Structure 1
Amino acid sequence: MADDTQARPERAILELGDAFYDPVQGADFPQTILRFRNDRAAAGIGLDRWSDANWIAHLARFPPLPGSLDTPLALRYHGHQFRQYNPDIGDGRGFLYAQLRDDAGRLMDLGTKGSGQTPWSRFGDGRLTLKGAVREILATEMLEALGVETSRTLSVIETGEALERGDEPSPTRSAVLVRLSHGHIRIGTFQRLAYLRDAEHMEALVAYVLRHYYGEDVGDDGPARLLGHVVDRTARLAASYMAAGFVHGVLNTDNINVTGESFDYGPWRFAQSWDPSFTAAYFDHAGLYAFGRQPEAIHWNCMQLAVALRTVSEAPPLIAQLDRFAERYRIEIVRAMLWRLGVMPLDDASDAALVEALEQALVTGGTAIDPFFHDSFGGTVPDQYGEGFAGVRELLARYTPRKPRDHAHWADPACGMPIEEVEALWAAIDERDDWAPLHAKVAAIRAMGEALA
């Protein structure tokens, strides 16, 4: 590994054995043009001192990272996709490149998107459009700033291939993306073992997740404790999506990480008003993953994890953990909404009443989400929001701001992410190869995150 680095490589995934993955190689790309490197994220895993040449050599060509994996691994899993079970999926255009420890000692994965075909590609080319990579940069940066636990886009490298796609003008530019994630073990990873009736490997997977992601020994009640952790983390995830106004678009069981970290961004959108029926995916005709149905969808996915864990556990302790989801979500949505309002909690009853009144006012008024929270940060709703927010103003009068409203961010317009802006940022790149607007947007998002933190 060239350059000065403080990386702490790991290879924990190998404990599970080759029943969980397939060794693969990255595609041989005709070009490797560095378009985005996230040194802020890289600093946490000791890779920020890499030169651009070394960065490209590792994150476009994927030689072994010394001390980590000898070869990339395409992970095996199944999943419910829009409630239809699919046993024919797995890492089809990505792989696990390496594992490392971050500054907090957490086990982290470097996972790819668009790195070439694998045994699970089916009829796909294993590639990623450059537009898809740009959209993932924007999603992860915005979510991180808004307090959502998310994967982070570490690297985007343009690869010089012309891709044919049916849902955008083709041929289009290509890229390989590397994400930094707190694990890539999905609910669908457990579903695959249940489908195969493989209790031995299910027990190994439960032990692996508890040990490496929750710092616990498996014990006699390991499956139920694991489900309890996932319930807690995913209830928090669902609440943070709502407070951020975010719609993931494809909340299938293969897209839910058992650490509760959001990842894998396809047809995402940020709702511009508090519209429970708003959808992100044009093909979600039934609104299964609409904005207001995301908590329900994530709870349903936890139910599928419980079903899978019946391979190695009795039902009652699993049911007891599942039954906690609604209460955990109630706690977490209050926490998330107060955080975004910029006020300290008061008491359970007052906090719940405030959040209920706020949601009702947002729905009734069709109010723009991002400007509202920007203008009301610290607990004072401006008069411009009218009488519909009178009850919210009255309740907020008892609350204490959690930080002074003195950051330069608050003098600027709200930093939202309407789809029109996403398209304009891409158009600048596509038509003029102008990356300045994207970099300016990322800087503005990070300034907002600093102000909110």
Structure 2
Amino acid sequence: MRAEPQAAPCIPDPVILDLAPWLADPVHPAPFPAAELRFRNRRWDGSVGLDGLDDSQWVEHFARFAPLPGNLPQPLALRYHGHQFRVYNPELGDGRGFLFAQLRDGHGRLLDLGTKGSGQTPWSRDGDGRLTLKGAVREILATEMLEALGVNTSKTFSVIETGEELFRQDEPSPARSAVLVRLSHGHIRIGTFQRLVYLDEPEHMAALVAYCLAQYPGNQPPDDAPGRDEPAVILMHQVVERLALLAAQWAVAGFVHGVLNTDNMNITGESFDYGPWRWLPRWDPAFTAAYFDHGGLYSFGRQAEALYWNCGQLAVALRSLAEAPPLIAALERFGPLYQQALARQFVWRLGLEPRGQDADAALLAFGERQMREEQLSPDTFFFRHRGGGGLGAGALGQHCPVPSDHPIWAEPAPPSLVIEEVERIWSAIAERDDWAELEQALTAIRRLGEALGPPPVTLC
């Protein structure tokens, strides 16, 4: 989701109910002891007609989870499986979240409101179903920065502090708690398809494919693609296009997601489910975000490989509906699509017009070499070559001057979310309950998005 938000009426459309008997479990939200509104996305609440809610109504819907009029009568925890670090796990599902509502935006696109930290479900296993406030703040920052940098991402829609003490092994405890609501086009994962083939439910698989094609329309396969009229093949092409683009967008953003399991892969191509993410402090393909990723499976330089592998698992699942050769033909498009999107996204972040695939690819190669040799972060590299900090356009500018047409490029440094900056913002909240640092960071990030303008391609 990267198109600018536009005001729209509230149009409930809980179409997931047709699939819910075999796709989800009705659940109850946790009864939180407190509800203090900490973040409300004023950029996006009007896009689904919810900007008219006052704060007390907002809390009633997004902390107490009173149903929205005409929407889901009860939240739904979605069922799915997935490969976790390439090991198949059939014991997955929404363990601390649920689908709360579905609405149409002003363009008629389906949007989901899903939660994180809303309580236990049948899929919680040994988890408490909760979210730390720090995790919620990190998700606000990640989604806002990715949106600014032209990445298809879910939006953090609401964060409400819930007054519980949580105990975690990977951060100081007791930790403050929160419930988060995200806005995205959908929550159907590659792991959703994997579950259906695991359970041998081809009729449900066909119904899910039809649902995805109807609700998340995309490009038709190339004219010469084998099986291009088969629904499963069409979906495979669309998911390959979307995830190749997402991998390219992450690369140019200098973003490391951290956990690229198939249950974390949305077939809409939206980045979501933010856990141990990081931004690169310098250009380093081996950089990892998750402390438990000992082998670097999901390192920065292997993210495209991971998304390609995940697309391969979708192809395996769709074999219950289509022959292998058309699905393999779709999968083989991933590499070229990724390279094209990578060059296109790189040139966009520089503020240049495309000059043709070969010229753009050469510019990309030059930029990667410069970042590697000078140990630059992508943030610093792109900022410098837009004239940031009064440094001029640098070596790249000798070949292609970049206009500095926004005051942000005259500032001393770009907005950045390297780990030290994230911890500084969180420390102000944790130690003094001071939210001003977060607000200032979000203002700077949104100004960066304004300066960069719309990205070259969105598929959602």
Task: Summarize the alignment of residues 351-370 of structure 1 with structure 2, pairs less than 5 Å apart.
Answer: 351-370=360-379
- The CA distance in 2 between the partners of 1:445 and 1:423, in whole Å, is 16
Post-superposition Cα deviations, 1:185-221, rounded to whole Å, max 9, x if no partner, equal 0000000001111101000000000011017999951
- The CA distance in 1 between the partners of 2:164 and 2:346, in whole Å, is 43
Q: Which amino acid aligns with 1:314?
A: E
Deviation of 1:409 after TM superposition, in Å, equals 1.2
Q: Which amino acid aligns with 2:165?
A: A
Root-mean-square deviation (CA), in Å? 2.0
Task: Summarize the alignment of residues 304-343 of structure 1 with structure 2, pairs less than 5 Å apart.
Answer: 304-343=313-352
Deviation of 1:377 after TM superposition, in Å, equals 2.2
* Contact 2:8-2:106 within 8 A present in 1 as well: no
- The CA distance in 2 between the partners of 1:449 and 1:215, in whole Å, is 25
Identity across matched positions, percent: 61
Which of 155, 174, 177 is residue 177 of structure 2 equivalent to? 174
Deviation of 1:379 after TM superposition, in Å, equals 11
- The CA distance in 2 between the partners of 1:321 and 1:283, in whole Å, is 33
Query: Is the deviation greater in 210-219 or in 5-14?
Result: 210-219
1:102 matched to 2:105? The reply is yes
Equivalent position of 1:77 in the other structure: 80
Q: Which amino acid aligns with 1:46?
A: G
Equivalent position of 2:404 in the other structure: 405
1:65 matched to 2:64? The reply is no
Equivalent position of 2:456 in the other structure: none
Q: Which amino acid aligns with 1:231?
A: V
Which of 129, 143, 147 is residue 140 of structure 1 equivalent to? 143
- The CA distance in 2 between the partners of 1:225 and 1:20, in whole Å, is 22
Equivalent position of 2:265 in the other structure: 256
Q: How many pairs are equivalent? A: 440
Q: Which amino acid aligns with 1:182?
A: H
* Contact 1:340-1:377 within 8 A present in 2 as well: no
Indicate the structure whose relative CO is greater, using CA pairs within 8 Å and at least 6 residues apart: 2
Equivalent position of 1:396 in the other structure: 400
Deviation of 1:123 after TM superposition, in Å, equals 0.2
Post-superposition Cα deviations, 1:345-372, rounded to whole Å, max 9, x if no partner, equal 1122111111112112211221132122
Equivalent position of 1:431 in the other structure: 431
| TM-score, length-scaled by structure 1 | 0.94
1:347 matched to 2:356? The reply is yes
- The CA distance in 2 between the partners of 1:407 and 1:211, in whole Å, is 40
Q: Structure 2: which 5+ runs fail to align? A: 1-6, 221-226, 454-460
Equivalent position of 1:445 in the other structure: 445
Equivalent position of 2:223 in the other structure: none
Name the SS for the 2:111 alignment partner: strand
Task: Summarize the alignment of residues 32-431 of structure 1 with structure 2, pairs less than 5 Å apart.
Answer: 32-214=35-217, 221-377=230-386, 389=395, 392-396=396-400, 401=402, 404-412=403-411, 413-431=413-431
Q: Structure 1: which 5+ runs fail to align? A: none
Q: Which amino acid aligns with 1:100?
A: L
- The CA distance in 1 between the partners of 2:168 and 2:389, in whole Å, is 47
- The CA distance in 2 between the partners of 1:190 and 1:369, in whole Å, is 35
* Contact 1:341-1:378 within 8 A present in 2 as well: no
- The CA distance in 2 between the partners of 1:17 and 1:55, in whole Å, is 26
* Contact 2:386-2:393 within 8 A present in 1 as well: no
Deviation of 1:374 after TM superposition, in Å, equals 1.2
- The CA distance in 1 between the partners of 2:386 and 2:145, in whole Å, is 17
Equivalent position of 1:12 in the other structure: 15
* Contact 2:408-2:447 within 8 A present in 1 as well: yes
Deviation of 1:304 after TM superposition, in Å, equals 0.4
Name the SS for the 2:211 alignment partner: helix
* Contact 1:273-1:368 within 8 A present in 2 as well: yes
- The CA distance in 1 between the partners of 2:357 and 2:376, in whole Å, is 26
- The CA distance in 2 between the partners of 1:368 and 1:192, in whole Å, is 39
- The CA distance in 1 between the partners of 2:393 and 2:202, in whole Å, is 60
* Contact 1:210-1:216 within 8 A present in 2 as well: no
- The CA distance in 1 between the partners of 2:151 and 2:43, in whole Å, is 17
Judging changes above 3 Å, is the alpha-carbon distance between structure 1 residues 39 and 380 closer, same or farther for their aligned structure 2 residues? closer
Moved over 2 A (4+): 215-220, 377-385, 392-397
Deviation of 1:378 after TM superposition, in Å, equals 7.6
- The CA distance in 2 between the partners of 1:60 and 1:132, in whole Å, is 17
Deviation of 1:17 after TM superposition, in Å, equals 3.5
